Amino acid sequence: MTNMHQLQEAANFIGRALSLEKKPKATTAIVLGSGLGPFAKNLKLASSSSSVLFCDIPHFAPSTVEGHKGEVIYAMADDTPVIVVNGRLHFYEGYDAQQVVFPIRALHLLGIKNLILTNASGAIGEGFEPGHLMALTDHINLTGTSPLIGKNLDELGPRFVDMSKSYDSELITLAKEAACKANVIMHEGVYAGLTGPCYETPAEIRVLKMMGAHAVGMSTVFETIAARHMGLRVLAIACLTNKAAGLSKTPISHDEVMENNAKVASLLGAILTEVVRKIVMASP
């Protein structure tokens, strides 16, 4: 069970490892999904960047999935400071929901107020194609659990959390404007979060479509719940990497997910940089 001492210990370690007290304060964090590591690599080329691996941070679980390096990076997106989580933890790796969101909670203690989540998703909605992006307007939690189950950490947020506006409409507008500027198709839609690691069956996809889902994946939901519990503004962008089961004649594979995400990584990087810059400009 996560406690405040563990979170503060992890946050203090990250602060020292990244020398945050000597650098401009970052108030926005970005979590990179499968295949989006090239964006982090480009950020690390900057002389002002620094990083620390999950496995070195107290109480962090290591990332075990291909395409998820598992590191926390401080860098400048153009001239705006940002903290990037390159690779995330997943429920299907055997971690519980509280372990999955532990990095988000620790970063909040370092002053993060805005959270940008990215993921690789299967496309369900009509006209939603591989290579397109989708800004999440809502989600359906089909994991059967929540990171808020158990003793509430009152220092972080209330026992009961309103999820009626999980994804910030102003941030969605910024993301869509940035996508338009980059000539990238960005839909809006509802994300269905399942446990994985197996992909969904065609019958399950038909049910999800009837429920109103436009994309499906194996992440993001827990992080959004934890972020809203702490009062963070959340923007989530799904990279549509494949047609969901039964909507394409070809089998779904992790290699396909990685390949298609790599194609949009540079374009998404430009969008994320623009959004981070505009968030800072709009801050009071």
Which residues carry out catalysis? 34, 68, 90, 92-93, 120, 218-219, 242, 254
Alpha-carbon span 19 to 26, nearest angstrom: 12
Pairing of strands 28-32, 80-86: parallel
Q: What would the two tokens of residue 45 be?
A: 């080329």
Question: Residue with structure tokens 């962090």?
Answer: 60
Q: What is the DSSP string of 23-76?
A: SPPP-EEEEE-TT-HHHHHHHHTSTT-EEEEGGGSTTPPPP-STT---EEEEEE
**Do 272 and 39 form a contact (C-beta atoms < 8 A)?**
yes
Q: How many helices (H) and strands (E) does the chain have?
A: 7, 9
At 97, which amino acid appears?
Answer: A
